[in-house]
Every structure is written in C-alpha cells, then in structure tokens.
Structure 1
Amino acid sequence: MSDLNTHKAAHAGRRALVTGASSGIGAAIARELAALGVDLVLTARRRDALEAVAATCKGVKVEIITGDLGKPDAARALWDEAIAGGPIDILINNAGFGYFRRFDEVDWARDAELVQLNMTSLVALARCFVDARKASTGPAHMVNIASTGAYQSVPNMALYAASKAFVRNFSEGLHDEHRGTPLTVTCVCPGGTETAFHAASGGGDYSWIANASTKSAEFVARAAIRAMLRGKRTVVPGLFNKLSCLSVRFVTRRFASRVATQVLGKPRLALPARREA
C-alpha cells in the first residue's frame, strides 16, 4: 500500500479548518488535504473564490464560512461556526497579508489589521484548537504559515517580517510543549511564492535571486502537508530558501538586513488596496 493510500486511510473523514483558503497557498493546501480524504472547512472573505476552490476539492465534504480575521473577535466566531459541524482535527493557520513599503508610509489602520490577522487571530484560533483537543485522544495537527522573513529583519516589510518571526517562535514553542502528545504543531516558512501576495503588497523590483527562488503554491502546499504528517517542527520549502535561512546564522543581523534590501529591490510607486483573501 502506498504512503498516499496509507495516509488517506488514516485521515479519511477527519475535518480541517483552513484559513485564507480562497487562493494561493491556502487553496493549494485545501486540495492536498482533500486528496487525503479530509473533509474541509474553508474560510476567507470572498465567497465566490471559496466556492471556486471548493469545486476543485473532490471526494470530500466542503463547508464554506466567510469572515474577516482582520477584525477583532472574528476568530472566536469562526471557530464556533466551524465546530458546529463537528470537531476540527487539523487547523491550517494560513491567512495573512503584508505590504512592501516603509513603515512610515502606511496608515495605522493597515498596520492594526496586519497585527490582528497575522498574529492575534492566529493565536486565538490556536487557543481554541488546543483547548478543544484536551478532551480528545486522537491525533491532531496544527500548521502555521510563517515566512523566510521570520529569520531576519526585512526593510520595507518590517512589520510583516516581525509578525512572521512571532509566528515561527510561537509555533516552535507549541511544538515543543506538545512533544510526545497526539497534537503536532508545524511551522512552514515559504520564500517567494507564485500567489497574489506580491501584487497585493505592492511588491518590489525583485532581483534574479528572489525570482530564482520563487516556488509555486502547490510546491509549498505539498511540503507543508508532508511536514505535518511527519510531525516536523519547522520546514522551509525549497533548497535555495533553506540555504538562505541557514546563511543568516553566519553573518551579522545588519548585513543580513542589507542583503534583503538588495534581493527584494525597490517598492512599486502605488500600494494597492488590500486584496480580499
């Protein structure tokens, strides 16, 4: 029996909550989970986009919940609605956004939303999930999507990178707390990924290094689910991304920050409104 069939037999009928599931990595992870026979609860702000993703998740039950995790208290409301259909066995904290601008060029409302979505709502859902699993002896998985930016400061993405450093440290701490229990926590740190993130963030004039290391959402999703199934603590998809995260250990933090500036290039002239995702 193949590994895929083994995992499919083990996970068939389980339920996963995937945030930011309307496109990109979240949508790709939803399809990977569907291939394992996992029933899905997909959430994001755009119902039409969620319905399109749901149509590609064959052979499983798919529920759609629209909501905005950039708003206070949205996480608890989402969780209550998600568990109304049954327990959640897998939590994929993927929702997040960033912008590519100097910190002082962006209004506070966008920063507050970033902090709420990338950190506060993620922690709130993690708390709901961990508390709910205390009454269960079955296996459970949490996957939190961070970034290679979690390994260093990133000028023009200062707050975004800092939020992902938080996600990484939080996830790794949870992983170690739950070592030896049925609950695993995996942090995924993608580098550049072929999604709408770059257009929505007003991305820069990227160098050849950044372009060469960019991976597809499907590549990242496969790496994330493999790591989840193996109970890994942290995964950085892509060899070049692994090497770049490793290399920052051997240079000063100031030098790493300067390199990031060269690799990412200059911001675009206009910062688009935040995309709905």
Structure 2
Amino acid sequence: MVLPLSAAVRPRIPAPPPAALPARLTPAALASVYEANRENAERAARMAAADGALSRAAADRALASPSRHLLHLDARGTGQVTEVLGDLPYATRIAVLVPGSDTTLDTYARFHTAAESLYRRLTRETHDREAHDRERRRTRIAVVAWLGYRTPATVSTTVLTPGRAAEAAPLLRESVRELRALTVPGPASVALLCHSYGTVVCARAAPALTGLGVTDIALVGSPGTGAGSAAALHTPARIWAARGADDWIADVPHVHADFFGTTVGFGTDPVSPSFGARVFAAGPGGHSDYFTPGSASLANLARIVLGETTEVTRA
C-alpha cells in the first residue's frame, strides 16, 4: 500500500539570483568566483532578515564567511550550494558528498559539518603517513559538499520515487566534469560518497560518469538504488555499501513496483549479498552518524577516498 504524504509547505524566502560567473570556470578564476558567491550569500542574508526569516538569514550569513569557498550558490527556494574544502586546483583526490532528503540551505550546517569531519580525517591521514610513504607525499585532498539538486522531503511521496534523482543525475555528472577540469596537476580521481536518497542519485548518475575518473562510489544508509545489483549500475567504479547498526533505514521495505506509471521504492538492499557491493563496517551509528569523528564508517570512507581499499574493514 502506498500512503500519500504531504510535506510541510515551505514559505518563499526572498533571495537574489545567483552571482554572474564565467560560463567555464578555470583555476585562475576560483578566487573571484568564491568572492562573488560570498557576496551573493551576504545579499541573501540581508534579504531574508528583512523578510523576518531569521533562521535562513543566519544560514546565508554563515556561507558569506571569508573562510567559505563556494563554487556555486543559489539561495532561492530551498537553495543549492556546492562548497569546496581544501585546495581544489592542486587536488589529486576529490571526495564528493551527495546528501539525502531534507538537505536544504536551512539544514546545510549539518551537511557542512559532515564534509568538514571527512576533510579533517583525510588531512590527518595524509599528514601522518607522508613522512613514511613517498607516494602519499604527492596526495592532495579536496572535499566537495554537493547540494546541487532539489532534495525531496523525508515526509513526502517524492522521497519514494526516483524523480528527483533523475533530475539530479545529469547535474552531478556536470559537476564532476567541472571539478576535474579545475585541477592543475591533471585530472584528479573522484570518490562519490552518497547518503540516503543521495545513493539513488549516485546510482542514476553512475553510467554517465564513466571516463570522468570516478574510482569509487560508496552508498551509506541507502534505501536502495533502483538497481538490482552493483553490476546493473554499469560503471567501472568500485561499489561500496554500509549501514550502521542503529540506522532506521534497515526497516524500509526494499520494494520496487510501478503504480499507475509511477515507480515506487528502490529495490535490492545494497548491503545484501545479492546486490554484490563491497560491504564495509559502519559501527553502531544511526542514519546521521556516518561522518561522526572517530567512527568506523568515517575511517573506512577516508580509506576509500585515499584508494586504500585493502585497509577498509569489511562488515
């Protein structure tokens, strides 16, 4: 039985259109791009505050901080932002985080915290080992928090269907292409770390990412991907999957059916043996704990990003 659920109506908060950026970004233009987007975030904060939307104003103001590196920003509606942590032009490995439902500008702080947690772990890993590993000395990391699509609300019919993922997939592909084009030493390798509904997005995008340096796709807290197996994703990338012991997503039925022309559900559980992913340990955490500092899941995700596949602890 499919129960139609209605999400809470989100009020329209005034915001400026996105900043005018070059049609094709270059490494030399990044500093000016970051500055333009910070100024846009500050304008959005003032407009939201004038409208009485103080929570959104605070979220926009945080993005306007001089420490933030925003590759793209659209503060209108629920908002979209692509943020870089690290020195993107000199990165040899890029981790792209793809979020799930209810990730908007209003909740972006928690998504940024996850990206920051991963970046700190990766930085520590590379610094700790570069003195003993000449190959690691050449490893430079960038983490990208990619809120580049309209995420569905958790309490909605949209979250049960692949519609938003179908919209997001070509946008993710274009972002990966753009990120690799912005690296100076040569195209970097890319790992996609996909959470919850974001795993549906990554699965839909996977075939089109072939040839763009995506070496690994990690699916955490997944409701299913819409594919029956890892092989059905049609990608040469390594497919990983994990679920925390206390993640409520384990109770979501793994169905995949058509109702009056609408596909509902996402099918096979990615951590099941039949799916064929490389299942790794995520520890006792819940649905929002995969990037918690000190967790088994964060340690393994960092190893995946660094290409240390033999060191990933299996579940």
Class of the TM-score when normalised by the shorter of the 2 chains: 0.3 to 0.5
TM-score of the two chains, using structure 2 as the length reference: 0.35
Higher share of residues assigned helix: 1
